[in-house]
Chains A and B, each alone.
Chain A
Amino acid sequence: KAGVTQTPRYLIKTRGQQVTLSCSPISGHRSVSWYQQTPGQGLQFLFEYFSETQRNKGNFPGRFSGRQFSNSRSEMNVSTLELGDSALYLCASSFDSSYNEQFFGPGTRLTVL
């Protein structure tokens, strides 16, 4: 069974631009969560989608948004990029039941210049 895939793996943008990251969950998984990992703040939860609906949201500004498609693939978008948005963005998928393991993708490394 293929794991969680994220594209692109690396991205370089400049301040003020916007970016879209993509995540394909494991086949059959309906929940997709996004996390931001930085050296200063560590791993922080961004949001979770299930059946095309945002079910949970972390404490991030409105510049960070996401969506989920009917095939469970998810995208996250960051508008008006700031230097501080440079991070590893991790996507995780799970089959929806309590206590199930979240399977993480390799991440997208975003650098904002």
Chain B
Amino acid sequence: GDSVTQMEGPVTLSEEAFLTINCTYTATGYPSLFWYVQYPGEGLQLLLKATKADDKGSNKGFEATYRKETTSFHLEKGSVQVSDSAVYFCALSPSGSARQLTFGSGTQLTVLP
């Protein structure tokens, strides 16, 4: 079945540092890929998405590129802020549907001032 493997955390960075969170997936066909963020005590918020190979999703300074050849969707941000501290989840949905998500295990990010 489908699966998502995420870089294990926790990750601790200083403010303005570069962030990379690795994500690889296993799926048949052409899934859509997502990054979600969860702040303490809240539900999930969609951070960015990509629906086909070579698509780059971007939002709030975060970026991720859908790489079918390496089955990866790594999250990057050039300069993190304290407010970026949260748990980040990589997820996929099978071809043709956006409503059944398979999630990675999540990566806790803490940004220190």
Contacts and interface: CB of A to CB of B under 8 A. Distances in A.
B99 A102 contact: yes
Given A56-B99, A94-B99, A102-B98, A43 B89 contact: yes
A70 interface: no
Interface residues of A, number: 26
B99 A48 contact: yes
A42 B105 contact: yes
Interface in A26-77: 31, 33, 35, 42-45, 48, 50, 55-56, 58
**Of B36, B45, B98, most A-chain CB atoms within 10 Å:** B98
Interface SS of A by simple majority: strand
B101 A42 contact: no
B42 A106 contact: yes
A90 interface: yes
Given A43-B89, A99-B51, A56 B46 contact: no
B44 interface: yes
A22 to B, nearest CB: 15
A32 B107 CA distance: 26
Interface string B79-113: 00000000001010100111111111110000000
A55 to B, nearest CB: 8
A103 B42 CA distance: 12
B31 to A, nearest CB: 10
B32 interface: yes
Interface of A: 4, 31, 33, 35, 42-45, 48, 50, 55-56, 58, 90, 92, 94, 98-107
Given A99-B98, A101-B98, A107-B43, 4 more contacts: A42-B104, A56-B97, A92-B99, A102-B99
Interface of B: 32, 36, 41-46, 49, 51, 89, 91, 93, 96-106
A-B complex: 4 closest residue pairs judged by Cβ atoms: A104-B43, A43-B103, A104-B44, A106-B43
